[in-house]
Amino acid sequence: MITNPRTPVKWINYIGSLDFGGYIDHTGGALLCSQDPALNRITKYLTQTPSSEMKGETLYLRIKTDEGEKLFSPFFVPTLDAYDLFEAHVGLGYTRYISEFDGLRCEILVFVPLGEHIELRLVRITNQRDQG
């Protein structure tokens, strides 16, 4: 489990199978492949980039506040927010993220179902603030 997203280099995990899958890093960046990852990349990804650099897809959330609105991502990049809580759980064939920012808790599970050619991102958002 990674609790500080500001690592010197990205931690990556392979999800899926050799038929379809790819890499996902602790900051939410991803590379999808059809068969051999070296030759059949669907999306571009460079593993040698610093953890603050954006490569791949992301999710943005807009939070209404008394001062206006804030924009943040439950993944570390591209917003580079200072989270109240950050966890990236790297498992065999999945990566799970938990991040909390300004009273909003996000839990995201990323995986490729066995025998499928899709990446799933299950997202749960919980408002932990006193106001709506």
Report pLDDT digits (tens) over 49-72: 555 555 567 788 888 878 888 888
pLDDT at 19: 84
Q: E-strand spans in 1-132?
A: 12-16, 20-25, 30-34, 61-65, 68-72, 85-91, 94-101, 104-111, 120-127
Cα 77–chain centre separation: 8
The DSSP call for residue 2 is B
The model scores a pTM over 0.85 = no
Give the burial string for 13-30 (b: 16+ CB within 10 Å, else e): bbbbeeebbbbbbbbbbb
Place of tokens 């990323």: 110
Indicate if the pLDDT at residue 41 is higher than 60. no
Question: Do residues 99 and 124 touch, judged by C-beta distance below 8 A?
Answer: no
Residue 94 has pLDDT above 90, yes or no: yes
Please tell me the predicted confidence (pLDDT) of residue 25. 85
